[in-house]
Each structure stands twice: as structure tokens, then as C-alpha cells.
Amino acid sequence: MPTTTKHRVYSYSFASVYPHYIAKAEKKGRTKAEVDTIIRWLTGYTQKGLEAQLKKQSTLEAFYADAPKLNPSRSLIKGLICGIRVEDIEEPLMQEIRYLDKLIDELAKGKAMEKILRS
């Protein structure tokens, strides 16, 4: 019987990767508030809900599973992240993680928030 092993990244706490998102944005002159706005747009968390997830050290898997409402417009997120097209990632959880990576990349590259949030 074949066993599928989960990606190691799924067990990382969201709180452990979050500072990397902030650092990447701030290094390029963007803000923590903008990072939080992107995360809230993508996942439907309120600011209070996001902070609660950080505090309870939720895994990435739990963070996305518990997301109040994943934004339907996230399917408009296209492009390469780590040499892989986000729209072609077949594993749903990995695709959600990569959507956020892609949005943070766009923020760091100076893209306007309206464009990042696909409005």
C-alpha cells in the first residue's frame, strides 16, 4: 500500500514563516500592515483572527484549513514562484501556500496593492 508523505512545510508553524514575509516586504520599503492586509484578503481572517493564529502557533496546514473564507479571486493569481507556475500546482494546500508567497513577492517588487489584491 503506497504511503504519501506530506510535505515537511505543512507542519511548520505559520508564526515561524510570518516574520520572513514581513522581513521581505520591509527590506523593499513595504510594511507589516500591507503584509497583514494581503494575508487577510487571501484567507478571510480578521486582524484579531490572524493574531490568534500566530499566538497559538498553528501549522500551515491548520492555518489554511481554519481560514474563514479563502478568497475566490485567488484563482487570478498567476506566475512563477520558485520556478513553478502557481496556477499549475495540483496539491491544494501547497497551492494556497504558494499563492501567499507569490503575493508577498509582488508586494516586495513594488506592485500596487490594488493589483496585488486583484481588484
CATH number at residue 85: 1.10.8.290
Containing domain of residue 41, as a range?
Answer: 9-116
Q: Between residues 97 and 1, which one has the greater pLDDT?
A: 97
Would residue 51 count as lying in a domain? yes
Q: What is the model's pTM?
A: 0.93
Residue 4 included in any domain? no
User: How many structural domains does the chain have?
Assistant: 1
Residue 13, in any domain of the structure: yes
Give the pLDDT mean for 49-71. 97
The gap between the terminal CA atoms of the chain, to the nearest Å, is: 46
Give domain status of residue 3, yes or no. Answer: no
> pLDDT of 16-40, one tens digit each?
999 999 999 999 999 999 999 999 9
Q: CA-CA distances (angstroms) from residue 79 to 7, 19, 47, 55, 118?
A: 22, 23, 27, 32, 14
